[in-house]
Amino acid sequence: MRVLVVGGSGLLGRAVCRRGVDAGLSVVGTFHSGEISVPGVAARRLDVTDRAAVRALVAEVRPDAVVATPYRYDDWAVTADGAAHVAVAAAEAGARLVHVSSDALHAGRPTPYADDDPPTPVHAYGAAKAAAETAVRAIDPGAALVRTSLILGEGSKQIQLCRDALAGRAALFTDEFRCPVDVTDLADAVLELAASSYPGLLNVAGPDAVSRADLGLLVAERFGLDAAGLKTTTGAALGLARPLDVRLDSTRAAGLLRTRLRGVRELLAP
Ligand SMILES: NC(=O)c1ccc[n+]([C@@H]2O[C@H](COP(=O)([O-])OP(=O)(O)OC[C@H]3O[C@@H](n4cnc5c(N)ncnc54)[C@H](OP(=O)(O)O)[C@@H]3O)[C@@H](O)[C@H]2O)c1
């Protein structure tokens, strides 16, 4: 199987490239301003905001499957339009599409979100991820859309944020809950879905919900850092437009996939 990993230079994209090569797949990965340092991957530069360039690259590579990961937190053209461009190009090439979405498109509530719950975005990033899903589903109803949560592992921004908060350089919310997932587990799940015909939305996150502040404490324990310095705050007190309690129910993925999605307490066990 030939896989095109769009955003192959990102945290998740790099892991998908690495696991794909390990599994003996032919892997082409794209980068924009970064680089892909994964042996065995054919690297190509691509700007997903350039619709013609996306179509040309996909037509040239002729992948069996396309994995779409790109986003920029504050850039609609990349996160929403770019996802649509990739979906159009994949559909034209007859390639299987796995689009990576986010829990950030939910508003937050005390009960977990099911796979098919519609988006209720409260900020521009969530709205862009929701728009991307709508475009992808309209263009290719057979595509798999993976909603995931905080991605942990080597190079994770989430772990770095915890380290910064432990050093007093940032603050972690005590009232923001997520279901972190390991980057390698997620990459394996994405590749499994690329080889399947699963259509539509799927929550792919870990089984344990934690607050960001508790994630900071787990990181302190795991890496032997002093938890006394942990700076915390609340999203509510700051009045931020952020989804607070967003727990993804990944029961369907756990039953469907061979890949075991490990919880954060297992991942960060000392
Ligand atoms: N990280 C998390 O905790 C988290 C949580 C929930 C959902 N997600 C979702 O998971 C996916 C992957 O996240 P990640 O953390 O792996 O992201 P990341 O490390 O920030 O990587 C983003 C990727 O997008 C690429 N990109 C940015 N602008 C581009 C453009 N104009 N054209 C083409 N590519 C462009 C980047 O390329 P360059 O670096 O080469 O510029 C990079 O490969 C995203 O869709 C995100 O919404 C992530």
Count of Cβ atoms closer than 10 Å to residue 11 Cβ: 19
Q: What is the pLDDT of residues 67-91, one digit of tens each?
A: 999 999 999 999 999 999 999 999 9
Give buried/exposed letters for 39-75 (b at 16+ CB in 10 A, else e).
Answer: eebebbebbbbebeebbebbeebebbbbbbbbbeeeb
Q: Which residue has the least CA distance to atom 15 on ligand 1? A: 11
Q: What is the pLDDT of residues 124-177, one digit of tens each?
A: 999 999 999 999 999 999 999 999 999 999 999 999 999 999 999 999 999 999
Question: Cβ(204)–Cβ(181) under 8 Å?
Answer: yes
Q: Which residue has the least CA distance to atom 17 on ligand 1? A: 10
**Distance, CA of 91 to chain centre:** 21
The label of the residue with tokens 């859309």 reads: 145
- Atom of ligand 1 lying closest to residue 49 CA: 31
Q: Tell how far the Cα of 98 is from the centroid of ligand 1, in angstroms.
A: 14
What is the structure's pLDDT at 163?
96
**Distance, CA of 197 to chain centre:** 20
CA atoms of 103 and 161, how far apart (whole Å): 18
What is the structure's pLDDT at 236?
84
Ligand 1 binding pocket, CB closer than 6 Å: 7, 9-13, 31-34, 46-49, 69-72, 78, 82, 100, 102-103, 129, 148-151, 157-158
What is the structure's pLDDT at 130?
98
Backbone angles phi, psi at 11, to 5 degrees: -55, -55
Q: Token pair for residue 10? A: 């990102």
DSSP letters for 110-136? SSPBPTTPPP---SHHHHHHHHHHHHH
By most ligand atoms within 8 Å of CB, the mutation choice from 106, 151, 215 for ligand 1 is: 151
What is the structure's pLDDT at 18?
98
Q: Tell how far the Cα of 73 is from the centroid of ligand 1, in angstroms.
A: 9
Provide block-wise average pLDDT over 10 residues at a time, the chain (270 residues): 98 98 98 96 98 98 98 98 99 98 97 98 98 98 98 95 96 96 98 98 98 97 95 90 95 98 97
Mean pLDDT in the chain?
A: 97
Q: Tell how far the Cα of 20 is from the centroid of ligand 1, in angstroms.
A: 18
Q: Token pair for residue 193? A: 């879905």
Q: Report pTM.
A: 0.98
